[in-house]
Amino acid sequence: MESRLPTDILYSIIAEVAGDRQTAHDLRSVSLASRLLREVTLPVLFATVQWPHGDKHSEENGLEFFPETLWRHFRKLSLLWPDHWPDASPPMWGDRYYIGGDYHPRHLDKLVRALPRMEGLSKFHISCPFYPPVSIFTALLQCPSIRSLSISDTPLYIDMLPPIPAQFNLEHIALVPVAEALRVGEGPYDSKYQEVTYYIRDYRKRYRNDSLARYAADSVLFNLAKADSLRSVQISGDLCSLSELAQHEWPNLHTLILTGHAPRANPNGTELVDVIAQMPKLIDLRLLFATVKNDPLFRILPANTAGEGSNVLLSSSYAIVQGPSGPYYTHRRNPATLLSQIRYLAISNACQLSGTIFHYADQLERLVICAISDLPRVPVALSRAEINALMRDLGTPPAASNGDASNPSSSSSKNSTPASTSPSSSSSASPASASSSGAGGNHHTVRYPSLKLLRIMIEDKANPELCHQISSLFPNLETLEVELCGYHDGKPIYDWDEFAVAFTPLAQLRNLRMCIQFPEFDDADRVEPWRNARRECASLFASRLPTLECVGFEYRKRTGTHRYEDSWLEYRVERYGDAEGGPPAVRRLSSSSSLSSRAYVPPYHHPQGIHPHGYVGACPAGGGRTGPVPASTVMRLEELPRSWYRFPEVWSPEYLTD
């Protein structure tokens, strides 16, 4: 079969369309058509691979490995050893030399021989129910292209690393201890955590509280990986402490992800700000800790000041100390204003929340406040009282500084900036104070114009007042997601239009997910009124908010006999004229759509901007508002597939492929 297109163009086309399981299956079929198509599709099909495969073995060779001709195509290789093999009787593809002894796998020598010869391999992931042998790391060190290493749910020991050559440098590393299973909200999560067998595996019971794992993780983080070359780090708070992180300089680190449980308090008083002081390029900070009953909340701001004569300020949830000169300081003389270098911040409800934090982290572009718990427990998000207190705290201006705002000792801090020593210092992107007249006179409200993305999880139903507060505090939001943990349909309390009007000040809002209350419908109804109600509400929001490109509403999805999870019914908004000559962002969304016809919702029109019944967006049980709306702007609503945030990702969802 001859092709008139150059091979590189064919590869670009195939790489563009290869995205889901169905496409991968089609590509495998295409690769059988000709030698040329096989050469073009193989780099896409085998860019990400895993080993071993239980169904690929023979009596002569045991577990089969990939043919050598494919090794050059590998970009990410995962050693995913099935956790049920050691528990079988007798053990599968391994041995136990005595009853209750450790499991020793077979055929790892095939992987060891192949690793140094994978010239294009850049990412390596390990997840296995046994101590990884030294030979694995010895082979890995001989693979010059490796830049990313992740180890999860794998027992570690101190002497597993060989001598590290100076030229071996990692840029990304992730360390997750055995049996760390976290759930963010009540939405979709990894299916392996839904099986009871995950929690009863022998090796997880044996190694989940291994006290020596911390020392092994320290060796991997600071010896195998080098702090001065790393660009991103993900590590559990159960494997490290703040003092250990603060002992090293991280000149190139831009992403720090702390998971598991919050690090215990240090006797030497090391604070989170002390860690940030060692990371001058850090912009993405994620504190994704699970809540633990009776454990103290993780403190983000320093507890003490550098000067004498400090006074105590009470926040919504805890007492903090502020010095007479204004900013907070750690025992190491690092100011809290170092938080201003953070651009992306994700924090869980295991952290102490206060609006004062955001007066210092005043350059944020993305903010996520989520609820996390250890599986199989269900997360509990912030209550309405806590949310209201946080919103009031956010809008309250920081205390005025007394005298000079800069502490003399802060000049020696390596990351302190003279222009940003006080949370109230003027900056084009810092929180702005807006004056308004009220019954009691003039008052000021702090606003955060730099914030573009906000995700927040709540435990109680949303109301228009919360939406008004969000619109007032964050006027330049482009993406907003308010998720109710444990959503349930019920009698609507507020009209849809009340929520839509609350978001009208957001002139740049493009993506909206909102946990609006919808009526409860019969699950057996084939007409699916619950879906139609959300589509009508989406149409209302699209006509009220002219910049909206994507809108979604929460619902409770049945995923098993007695299992439910929160999900989003989401629509892409395409407007009249946008596909031809509209805004570039909308044209791009229209042209890049590759969804199946089943994902489409028929065009939903409002003749002359009025619903046939005289109102827009009403459902059979009410919830709409009568009255005309602007001329019909909605061309059609295209239903999108379900999506989820693959932990520890919190910024961008990805489509589910099931």
Q: Which two tokens stand for residue 150?
A: 């992740």
Report how far Cα 117 is from the mean position of its chain's Cα atoms. Answer: 34
Mean pLDDT score, 49-54: 95
Residue 510 scores a pLDDT above 50: yes
Question: Is 572 in contact with 593 (CB distance < 8 Å)?
Answer: yes
Q: What is the pLDDT of residue 326?
A: 58
Whole-number Å distance between alpha carbons of 421 and 429: 15
309 or 287: which leads in pLDDT: 287
| pLDDT tens profile 230-285 | 999 999 999 999 999 999 999 999 999 999 999 987 778 899 999 999 999 999 99
**Bridge-partner residues for 550, per DSSP?**
511, 572
Q: What is the pLDDT of residue 41?
A: 82
Least confident piece of the model among 462-471, 493-502, 619-628: 619-628
196 or 100: which leads in pLDDT: 196
Residue 340 scores a pLDDT above 50: yes
Q: What is the pLDDT of residue 507?
A: 96
215 or 312: which leads in pLDDT: 215
- What pTM value is reported for the model? 0.83
Average pLDDT score over the chain: 81
Residue 602 scores a pLDDT above 80: no
Mean pLDDT score, 391-398: 85
Q: Which two tokens stand for residue 614?
A: 């005289």
| pLDDT tens profile 103-146 | 999 999 999 999 999 999 999 999 999 999 999 999 999 998 99
Q: What is the pLDDT of residue 264?
A: 81
Whole-number Å distance between alpha carbons of 259 and 610: 50
**All structural domains of the chain with their residue ranges:** 241-395+445-459, 461-658
Could you give the C-alpha distances from 555 to 457, 541, 548, 558, 570, in angstroms and in order?
14, 17, 20, 10, 10
List all residues 6 or more positions away from 628 whose beta carbon is below 8 Å from its beta carbon.
608, 609, 610
Query: How many C-alpha atoms does 468 have within 13 Å on its Cβ side?
Result: 8
Mean pLDDT score, 362-378: 95
Q: Which two tokens stand for residue 347?
A: 């924090």
Residue 152 scores a pLDDT above 60: yes
CA-based Rg of the chain, rounded to a whole angstrom? 27
587 or 430: which leads in pLDDT: 430
Q: What is the pLDDT of residue 20?
A: 54
Whole-number Å distance between alpha carbons of 374 and 291: 8
